[in-house]
Amino acid sequence: MSSPTNDTCLTLQGLDVAFGAQRVLQGLDWSLPTGQVVGLLGRNGAGKTTLIEALLGLREPDAGTALLFGQPVAQLSDAARARIGYVPQRSDLFEWLTADQLLAYFRSFYPRWNTAKVDGLMSRWDIARDKPISKLSGGQQQRLSIVRALAHDPELLVLDEPVASLDPAGRRDFLSELVEQVVDRRTTIVFSTHILSDLERVALDVAFLTGGRIALHAPLDELLESSVRLGGVPADIRRFVDEHQLQAVSRAAGVPVIARGRDAASLPRATSTVSVDPVTLEDLFLALTA
């Protein structure tokens, strides 16, 4: 239910990926308008990294199509590739190089390279430039990986657990940098993280990956305002849900626990038999990825 925009950055259709007998993505459809900042949420093992790799063309799906900037990802042109920034979950930096050598190496691939931004980030984030990368701390390596991904002013930024090794101050620096990207360039961002408090600051939309599909993709504000937790006797809750035309988001023993109305205004108030309480993103995460 995102606001329609004229151009689409990413379109996935009927994506299947299996590892042996284990089907990770199952007919997954997803599209992302240009300029959207979306949080990708799912439990461990839900297939977030697989989805990210498939959408970047780093993993060939068993079936389905993936279009980036309107081109099939398998045949993405170099020019289109240069518009992507990617921070992988596992550091893929060449550990024997120094940070400076690494950046010089990547710079040669990109027609656009923002030296001022790189220098600014390297000094603000206190990354040693002349030590072998293998000697940097996990946090510093992660920061360097982020600098590399931002250096060419990407139009699409894909972040796979980018801050797992950073302390709260480091995460705040990173979020500020993302805000800068959004302000200055309307960068499309796919942000996968388990740190919901970071996600809700920057992601306007959230997408929940479960059962090999995107179960729900909606604006976060709207989701918070239109969802409630219900409490009471099962029969009362069922009647209440029917009466107010709510849609169950999650159930326990068949009884709706969290439900959504069409919008915030249509949400009913509590009655003498049914309690109605607001929900947080964490509640929704647990409900929607169960």
Question: What is the rounded distance in angstroms from the CA atom of residue 186 to the CA atom of residue 180?
Answer: 9
Using CB under 8 A as the binding rule, whether residue 213 contacts another protein is answered as no
Minimum distance between the CB of residue 116 and another protein, rounded to whole angstroms?
18
For 223-244, b/e burial (b = at least 16 CB within 10 A) is bbbbbbbbebeeebbbebbeeb
53 vs 205, beta carbon nearer another protein: 205
119 vs 221, beta carbon nearer another protein: 221
Question: What is the rounded distance in angstroms from the CA atom of residue 116 to the CA atom of residue 4?
Answer: 35
> Which amino acid does the sequence have at 190?
V
Minimum distance between the CB of residue 175 and another protein, rounded to whole angstroms?
4
Using CB under 8 A as the binding rule, whether residue 203 contacts another protein is answered as yes
> Which amino acid does the sequence have at 50?
T
Using CB under 8 A as the binding rule, whether residue 281 contacts another protein is answered as yes
| Closest C-alpha to 37, from 203, 260, 217, 261 | 203
Minimum distance between the CB of residue 236 and another protein, rounded to whole angstroms?
20
Minimum distance between the CB of residue 77 and another protein, rounded to whole angstroms?
30
Angle ∠(12,16,19) on CA atoms, nearest 5? 135
Contacts 24+ apart (CB under 8 A), 109-118: 109/82, 110/82, 110/151, 110/152, 111/79, 111/82, 112/82, 112/152, 112/153, 113/151, 113/152, 114/150, 114/151, 114/152, 114/153, 117/150, 117/151, 117/153, 118/147, 118/151
Q: Which stretch binds another protein (CB under 8 A): 58-66, 79-87, 143-151, 277-285?
A: 277-285
Using CB under 8 A as the binding rule, whether residue 172 contacts another protein is answered as yes
The SS3 assignment for 196 reads helix
Q: Which stretch binds another protein (CB under 8 A): 23-31, 59-67, 73-81, 221-229?
A: 221-229
Residues 37-76 that bind another protein (CB under 8 A): 37
17 vs 259, beta carbon nearer another protein: 259
Using CB under 8 A as the binding rule, whether residue 175 contacts another protein is answered as yes
Using CB under 8 A as the binding rule, whether residue 200 contacts another protein is answered as yes
Of 197, 247, 266, 271, the one binding another protein (CB under 8 A) is 197
Distances (CA, A) of 129 to 82, 135, 169, 207, 227: 24, 11, 21, 37, 48
Q: Which stretch binds another protein (CB under 8 A): 79-87, 130-138, 175-183, 235-243?
A: 175-183
Q: Which stretch binds another protein (CB under 8 A): 7-15, 56-64, 196-204, 232-240?
A: 196-204
Give the residues lining the site for another protein (CB under 8 A). 37, 172, 175-176, 179-180, 182-183, 196-197, 200-204, 220-221, 224-225, 278-282
